[in-house]
A and B are shown apart, each in its own frame.
Chain A
Amino acid sequence: MKPGTTSAACAALLGRDLALTWRRRGDALNPLLFAVIVVALFPFALGPETSMLTRIAAGTIFVAVLLAGLLSLDGLFRSDLEDGSLEQLVMSPHPLSLLLGCKIVVHWLTTALPLIAIAPLLAQLLHLPDPVLPILLASLALATPLLSLVGAVCVALTIGMRRSGMLLTLLVLPLIVPVLIFGAGACNAAQLGLPTSAPLLWLGAWLVLAVVMAPLAAAAALRISLA
């Protein structure tokens, strides 16, 4: 019998996780619904004044999307831990960091991508000026994978503990604040007619760093917390 290749293992894991998300699509929609509700409630709370909504639009959408992502992080490895799949992943001959990378990709595809897809609708709800929309989408596209990657490391660190939800939030929050500042900052700059490339490039640089480092760190953290 010949061992499977690493790429076949990654493809199988991607396929399995996507199939699982599809089977639990009700749960998977939860973060999306959460973000929509948060954004939709703001005009009710603050009043329908267009100028104010325009001013807070980008920041509100950003916060809602990041919180929705945070909400779904806890489940990233939870079911795999409970049914023993995680042990099998750790024992597999393929690099654990790559396998975890696949799981992170699936997390982003299933929680962040739908949020980015409905961001234009959320922007309309809050009267975001049309020229700012591309900047919002670009900064969300850079910020949400960062959340998935950094979050995965924190989840891997806390997975061995019971009721790790609170600790996870406390760990992720400070790491994600710079992402929020630069992401929402780019949108604010666009609204004021200022150049936006600097904050977007910063986000891009962090994303590159996280893509390389986060799966490795998550694999190491997972080994520690399973022991």
Chain B
Amino acid sequence: MNKHAKDDEIMPLLQARALSYARNEEPIFGPLDFSLHTGEVVLIEGDNGSGKTTLLKVLSGLLEPTGGVVLLHGTPLTLARLSHQVALLGHLLGLKLELPQLALASVGLEGYEDQPVRMLSAGQRKRVALARLLLVPASLWLLDEPYANLDRDGIELVNRVLDAHARRGGAALITSHGAYAYTSGTPRRIALRNDSALPAALSPQPSLCT
């Protein structure tokens, strides 16, 4: 059985059909077609300003797509019925500088439970935000530049966490401008291009499957 036939049988966790987004009539990305299955980690690559963050915001339901649909387990995604399935880790980490955070042992920060976030470095804050991902039972992770600010151990930590998540039947979309990347296995890639002459796109889905 080839990969295509198998893809058709299993309902993809996340599917984008002709997905595009434009701000003030200026296209940011798309139209994009891709799907993401359970146990998959897919890397979104693109230069600065190519629309990676916007794509994740559309996929998380925070932004309404200009065209196309996002299907989560085969049904259209709306913010109102997001439920527990999607977790987003964006550039804004959602941490309060004044408060200490819990569940830190899992990200190599044991002993910091009583420290306000203000006292932590940027990389340590990133680890704290990762700890939140581990607390939420979401099957789809949307990670915006998870490798930024992290040291080598931190990068390995992210990869370990991603592997474990994929093995548990989760899936993740991660963005990167190419500096660091997901190393275990060879992840499928989606490339976003800045060039507005070409319809900024990507690998049509299964062709880059590994």
A24–B92 touching, CB < 8 Å:
no
- List chain B positions with a Cβ less than 8 A from chain A: 60-64, 79, 82-84, 86-88, 90-99, 116, 135-137
A75 contacts partner chain B, Cβ-Cβ < 8 Å: no
**A84 to B132 alpha-carbon distance, docked (Å):** 13
A91–B60 touching, CB < 8 Å:
yes
Q: How large is the interface on A (under 10, 10 to 19, 20 to 34, 35 or more residues)?
A: 20 to 34
Chain B residues within 8 Å of A93, by CB: 82-84
Chain B residues within 8 Å of A91, by CB: 60-62, 79, 82, 86-88
Chain A residues within 8 Å of B116, by CB: 23
Chain B residues within 8 Å of A2, by CB: 137
A227–B62 touching, CB < 8 Å:
yes
Chain A residues within 8 Å of B63, by CB: 227
Task: Mark each residue of chain A from 48 to 65: 1 if its CB lies under 8 Å from any CB of chain B, else 0.
Answer: 000000000000000000
A90 contacts partner chain B, Cβ-Cβ < 8 Å: yes
A223 contacts partner chain B, Cβ-Cβ < 8 Å: yes
A interface SS class: helix
**A84 to B90 alpha-carbon distance, docked (Å):** 8
CB distance from A86 to the nearest CB of B (A): 8
Known pairs A19-B99, A20-B98, A90-B62; A84 contacts B92 (CB<8 A)? yes
B137–A3 touching, CB < 8 Å:
yes
Top 10 nearest A-B pairs (CB, nearest first) are: A84-B92, A1-B137, A23-B98, A84-B94, A88-B94, A85-B94, A3-B84, A93-B84, A93-B83, A227-B64
Chain A residues within 8 Å of B60, by CB: 91
Residue in B closest to A86 when the chains form the complex, CB atoms: B94
Known pairs A3-B137, A91-B61; A16 contacts B96 (CB<8 A)? yes
A226 contacts partner chain B, Cβ-Cβ < 8 Å: yes
CB distance from A215 to the nearest CB of B (A): 15
A87 contacts partner chain B, Cβ-Cβ < 8 Å: yes
Chain B residues within 8 Å of A23, by CB: 98-99, 116
**A83 to B95 alpha-carbon distance, docked (Å):** 6
